[in-house]
Amino acid sequence: MWDAAGLARDGADLERAVAALRQWKAPEVTDAKAAEDANLLVVARAVVASALAREESRGAHFRTDYPETSPTMAKHSSIGAPQ
């Protein structure tokens, strides 16, 4: 996650992270550890999908392929869960 969706990120690395996360299956929730692991996978997928959708740099998160801020992106946005 840090390599692909850390503070400095780019579209190619984020696409690779999406592909890698699609390969992972959430564990069957049988105890607290499995529940935490399943939740972490959901969060990782959401972070990567959101980072890929925002094609600009804003705040501490820097898109090396989109180094400038964009006035059109200066609003709240939401996307559906990754498939």
Residue 34 sits in which domain range?
A: 2-72
82 lies in some domain:
no
For residue 66, what are the β-bridge partners? 63
The sign of the CA dihedral 6, 12, 15, 19 is negative
The answer to the question of residue 80 being in a domain is no
Residue 12 CB neighbour total at 10 angstroms? 11
Domain assignment present for 46? yes
pLDDT digits over 66-81, tens only? 877 777 766 665 556 6
* pLDDT of 65 strictly over 80: yes
Residue 5 pLDDT > 70, yes or no?
yes
55 falls within a domain:
yes
Number of domains in the chain: 1
pTM above 0.85, yes or no: no
Looking up residue 32, the CATH number of its domain turns out to be 1.20.58.100
Is 49 part of any domain?
yes
Strand partners of residue 9: 63
Question: If you average pLDDT over residues 14-26, what whole number do you get?
Answer: 95
**Could you give the C-alpha distances from 78 to 21, 35, 37, in angstroms and in order?**
20, 25, 24
- pLDDT at position 19 over 90: yes
pLDDT tens profile 31-49: 999 999 999 999 999 999 9
